[in-house]
Amino acid sequence: MSALSAVSISIQRRFGRQRLRKILLGSIPFLVMIGVWHANTVFEWLPPVFIPSIGDVWEAIFFLQEDCAGFVPLIMLDNSCLMSTHILSSVGRVILAAIIGLPFGIAFGILAGMNRTVSKFLEPVGVFANSISGIAWIPLAIVWFGVGWVTTLFIMLNTIFWLMFFNSMLGVRSVARVYEQSVLTMGGSRWDVIRQVYLPGAMPSIITGMRMSMGFGWRALIAAEMIGGDSGLGFMIFTSAAEFKIEEVFLGVIVIAVIFMATDRYLLAPLEKWTVERWGLVWKPT
Amino acid sequence: MNAVSAKLVVEGLSHHYPDEYTGESVHALEDINLELYEGELVSVVGPSGCGKSTLLNILAGLLPYKVGTASVDGNIIDGPGPDRGVVFQEHAILPWRTVAKNIGHGLEIRGILKSERDRRVQEFIDLVGLTGFEDKYPHELSGGMKQRCQVARTLCSDPVVMLMDEPFAAVDAQTRITLQEELNRIAQATQKTILFITHSVDEAAFLADRCLVFSARPGQLKEIVEINIPREKRIWADMNNDPDFITARDRILKSVREEVSVAKEE
Ligand SMILES: Nc1ncnc2c1ncn2[C@@H]1O[C@H](COP(=O)(O)OP(=O)(O)OP(=O)(O)O)[C@@H](O)[C@H]1O
Ligand SMILES: [Mg+2]
């Protein structure tokens, strides 16, 4: 008993009580899901053609990577390394779309937030583009750009840019006027105001926008890959399903979710912590 | 006074706010004339809505005006500039900058070297009693500390005139008394030229060399009360028994009361 509590105390010291609690609470639903999944295999409620066993899904990784001959074919997106090729192709597209879409969305959003003429010019077309949700563009994009990476990139950019645009615009408009005025009365220029007031002041909205646009963008990408792609996780799921390889479909879905959770946890959440939380701009639940 | 040049001059200033919806306009200021001399602290009191903030915003360059002229050191005011520092009524220090970076903001904008900047920032941090809080963010400060930080930020930029719009209105009574005594000490130490707007007659009489009483809207200069008490004698514990202070305060109070009743009758 005392040894056990000593271990528990040392674990708590190492990770911190709060964090440990958070990790434990968050993993309960997953543990339940895994339990039910495994129970299904044991008691055969639903046959393996519908729900494969955990072991089959695990083995699908090695099956898909079977002929992969090391690092070089892996990064060359060699057809033998099927799974890593699809992952890298999806992730690569997400990164590309983020590099282009996020800065442009933020820049135009800030511009529209501070200037009525710009917002009057861009808002209607933005509402129009947003109303046709990401996926609904797919048929048109296939007609225009054919099946392949241009189509998937177009779908993602469309989603990311406009979400970022609207969030940044609203963010700038919510910044108290007195901050802008105080920079101006200290002799600051328009550019000083943009960098020192609008950008940090709009940060809560910008981060929300990033989370939304990466979330919706990622989903739009998977959908686009299914219908209009020639590689990527969406494409992999779709082709595997057509060949009734249910374990590969499961694997694909899990990988998609894990990649997105990791992005949110290791990129967006720390950004939030180091900016808006430190500045006291958001309310932190205890 | 004549030997000293006027730092801030306002002549025949009037202001109307147009109303977009009704097409009517609000007459906020009427024919204001005033002069602020170097090293002088002038307070402005008047009933709510008489145009005090309007005057301050015009002088800060944040509100364009059409009738009359206003100038600082002989330069006509036509926009905000570092020669006029403003202390706002709301919390106006930037939440995403630490105390030290907020106070040094004006110097940073002017491109002053970091070593020189740090030295001056520390001087003003000490002056307003924020030592030890240099690296804190504004949300970690109390309301009174935020206003001290704002005062230090404006002082650190070294403007020709300082414009203050009810800077202590949002803090509790005890802190307000401390801040008033601190501002008195700072005014003495820095010899800044200050225009100080307030609701509080006590505050106006305690701080000012001259107090301007404004009439009800449209704001006009109704009366000027001079308060000739040396700065070193201005401590709240003594002031409440000081005959000069009491006379000045009662005079201002009477004058403002008349205007408040006029404003109510409308
Ligand atoms: N932006 C504005 N647009 C239209 N009218 C305004 C505007 N700002 C102020 N006013 C009007 O001008 C008049 C003077 O306002 P101002 O804010 O200068 O008063 P004040 O003396 O500072 O009052 P208080 O002591 O309550 O702060 C008021 O009647 C107000 O309604
Ligand atoms: Mg006011």
pLDDT at A229 > cutoff 50: yes
Compute the distance from residue B49 Cα to the ligand 1 centre, in Å. 5
Question: What mean pLDDT is predicted for residues B109-123?
Answer: 94
Give B159-178 pLDDT, tens digit per residue. 999 999 999 888 888 888 99
What pLDDT does residue A73 have?
67
pLDDT of residue A74: 66
pLDDT at A79 over 70: no
Top mutation candidate among B52, B55, B262, B266 for ligand 1, by most atoms within 8 Å of CB: B52
Cβ of B96 and A178 within 8 Å? no
Measured from the CA of B46, which atom of ligand 1 is nearest?
21
**Measured between alpha carbons, how far is residue B93 from residues B98, B100, B152, B172 in Å?**
9, 11, 10, 19
Does the distance separating the beta carbons of B86 and A185 come in below 8 Å? yes
B105/A187 Cβ within 8 A: no
Ligand 1 and B256: CB distance under 6 A: no
Chain A environment of B140 (Cβ under 8 Å): 280
Question: How far, in Å, from the CA of A83 to the mean position of ligand 2?
Answer: 66
**Residue of minimum CA distance from atom 9 in ligand 1:** B54
Grouping H, G, I as helix, E, B as strand and the rest as coil, residue B55 is: helix
Instruction: Please state, in angstroms and rounded to a whole number, the distance separating the CA atoms of residues A157 and A163.
Output: 10
Which residues on chain A are in Cβ contact (under 8 Å) with B92?
Answer: 178-179, 181-182
Cα A213 to Cα A166, A272, B73, B231, distances in angstroms: 11, 15, 52, 60
Report the pLDDT averaged over residues A128-132. Answer: 82
Provide the pLDDT for residue B253: 93
> In this model, does residue B94 exceed pLDDT 50?
yes
Cβ contact B140–A280 (<8 Å): yes
Q: How confident is the model at residue A162 (pLDDT cuts 50, 70, 90)?
A: very high
User: What pLDDT was estimated at residue A188?
Assistant: 94
d(CA A265, ligand 1 centre) in Å: 48
Q: How far apart are CA B152 and CA B20, in angstroms?
A: 38
Q: pLDDT for A32-47, tens place per residue?
A: 999 999 999 999 898 8
Burial of A188 (0-12, 13-18, 19+ CB in 10 A): buried
Residue B96 contacts A, CB cutoff 8 Å: yes
Average pLDDT for A80-93:
87
What phi and psi values does residue A179 have, to the nearest 5 degrees?
A: -70, -45
In whole angstroms, how far apart are CA B7 and each of B3, B38, B106, B220? Answer: 12, 6, 21, 21
Segment A169-174 mean pLDDT: 95
Question: Binning pLDDT at 50, 70 and 90, where does residue B72 land?
Answer: very high
Residue with CA nearest ligand 1 atom 2: B17
Mean of the per-residue pLDDT values for chain A? 88
pLDDT in tens, A107-117: 999 999 999 99
- Most A CBs within 10 Å, among B87, B94, B97, B162, to test the A interface: B94
CB distance B49 to ligand 1 below 6 Å = yes
Rounded to two decimals, the pTM is 0.85
Q: Whose CA is nearest to atom 30 of ligand 1?
A: B49
Tell me the per-residue pLDDT of B35-60, one tens digit each, with 9 for 90 and over. 999 999 999 999 988 999 999 999 99
Structural domain A61-278, CATH architecture: Orthogonal Bundle (1.10)
Determine, for residues A184 and B80 on separate chains, whether the beta-carbon distance falls below 8 Å.
yes
Q: Which two tokens stand for residue A67?
A: 């002929």
Alpha-carbon distance of B147 to B153, in angstroms, equals 10
Interacting residues of B224 by C-beta distance below 8 A, sequence separation 6+: B210, B211, B212, B213
Q: Residue type for B32, please?
A: I
Please indicate whether residue A135 or residue B56 has the higher confidence score (pLDDT): B56
Q: Is the CB of B169 under 6 A from ligand 1?
A: no
Judged against a pLDDT cut of 60, whether residue A52 lies above it is answered with yes
B52 lines ligand 1 (CB under 6 A): yes
Q: Is the pLDDT of residue B3 over 50?
A: no
Question: Which among B63, B88, B91, B96 is the top mutation candidate for probing chain A, defined by the most A β-carbons within 10 Å of its own β-carbon?
Answer: B96
Is the bond preceding residue B218 a cis peptide, omega within 30 degrees? yes
Contact A186 B139 (CB under 8 A): no
Q: Which of A54-58, A65-69, B12-16, B166-170 has the lowest mean pLDDT?
A: A65-69
Looking at the complex, does the CB of residue B64 fall below 8 Å from at least one CB of chain A? Answer: no
Whether B112 has its CB under 8 Å from any CB of chain A: the answer is no
pLDDT confidence of residue A49: 86
| Poorest-pLDDT segment among A187-191, A226-230, B41-45, B70-74 | A226-230
Residue B54, ligand 1, Cβ within 6 A: yes
Residue A75: predicted pLDDT: 65
pLDDT at B2 over 50: no
Most confident option among A11-15, A163-167, B45-49, B124-128: A163-167
Whether A188 and chain B come into contact, CB under 8 Å, resolves to yes
The predicted pLDDT at position A170 comes to 95
Per-residue pLDDT for B1 more than 50? no
Distance separating the N- and C-terminal Cα atoms of chain A? 31
Q: Is the CB of B50 under 6 A from ligand 1?
A: yes
Distance CA B67, CA B28 (A): 12
Ligand 1 touching residue B26 (CB < 6 A): yes
Are A196 and B138 a contacting pair at CB < 8 A?
Answer: no
User: Which pLDDT score is estimated for A171?
Assistant: 96
Q: What percent of chain A has pLDDT over 70?
A: 94
ipTM of model = 0.89
- Is the CB–ligand 1 distance for residue B216 below 6 Å? no
Q: Is the pLDDT of residue A242 over 60?
A: yes
Q: Which of A118-122, B1-5, B87-91 has the lowest mean pLDDT?
A: B1-5
